[in-house]
Amino acid sequence: MAVSIKSGREIELMRESCKRLEYVHNKLGEIIKPGISTYEINRIGDRLIREQEGIPNFLNYEGYPASICVSVNDEVVHGIPKKERLLEEGDIVSLDAGLIYKGYHSDAARTYTVGRVSPEVGQLVEITRQSFFEGIKYAREGCHLYDISNAIADFIEGYGYGIVEDLVGHGIGTKLHEDPQIPNFRQKKKGIMLKAGMTLAIEPMINLGTAAVEWLEDDWTVVTEDGLPSAHYENTILITKGDPEILTLGNWD
């Protein structure tokens, strides 16, 4: 396993790519409301990425047919946008988006509530987001990779949610998926030592019910086996000599 260490110049390009993706996500967050189709969300997202001089990295990735993954309720990730799929009050929707800017990839996901949702579903969304921040407490030079995984797992287990094991986070840079893989569930080993200059996409996928997932006939959409909702939250981060930098959050002014 070869984990790339980005140079100063590469880090600047990662920052720029990620900042542009943050802008796309912020704009997409504003259009989430009952009645919008998942197709329209993708259409607007694709346009925003291109306006930012980005190339949508998900489009045609291993045949994936859209620029934004739009996953509703029991859809965990990789939902395919559809004209006939309209968001309804009480739904939750996960938007996963990425772009390439000057050869460097960014990747981030947010889960939104549509109108008012039940308290238990609202909590799932919020705890999934918080688990990312629990994890990155260990995203520091000198920590081990699986310190991140175990911190996410510890936090989520306290709520009894199911942690998806079939999909994981990943290194990112000149490719969307680089080494290492970053599980969100408990690990017995320590994993590699983290070093300044690593860029990682950390992305807990958390189910209200059990961890079990399955793939739909479209070969993309991952759904929960029990049909209960699932939430996803992801940022691209940079390991530094000090606190981690969250490259896809808080940098758009």
Interface contacts to ligand MF3, rule CB under 6 A = 58, 61, 64, 69, 78, 96, 107, 109, 170, 201, 203, 234
Which residue in the shown chain puts its C-beta closest to ligand MF3?
64
Residues 68 and 80: their CA atoms lie apart, in Å, by: 8
Residue closer to ligand MF3 (CB basis): 21 or 201: 201
The count of residues interacting with Co ion (CB under 5 A) is 3
Q: Is 178 in the site for Co ion (CB under 5 A)?
A: no
Q: Shortest distance, CB of residue 109 to ligand MF3, whole angstroms?
A: 6
Residues 149 and 231: their CA atoms lie apart, in Å, by: 17
Q: Is 107 in the site for Co ion (CB under 5 A)?
A: yes
Q: Shortest distance, CB of residue 181 to ligand MF3, whole angstroms?
A: 11
Task: Please identify which residue in 127, 201, 223, 237 interacts with Co ion, judged by CB under 5 A.
Answer: 201
For the chain, where are the E strands, in sequence order? Answer: 55-56, 68-72, 75-77, 92-101, 104-113, 162-163, 169-171, 178-182, 199-202, 205-207, 213-215, 222-224, 230-232, 235-238, 245-246
Choose among 11, 6, 3, 2: nearest CA to 251: 11
Structure tokens given for 199: 């860029």
Q: Which stretch binds Co ion (CB under 5 A): 35-43, 112-120, 195-203, 235-243?
A: 195-203
Residue closer to ligand MF3 (CB basis): 81 or 191: 81
Residue closer to ligand MF3 (CB basis): 15 or 170: 170
Cβ(233)–Cβ(128) below 8 Å: yes
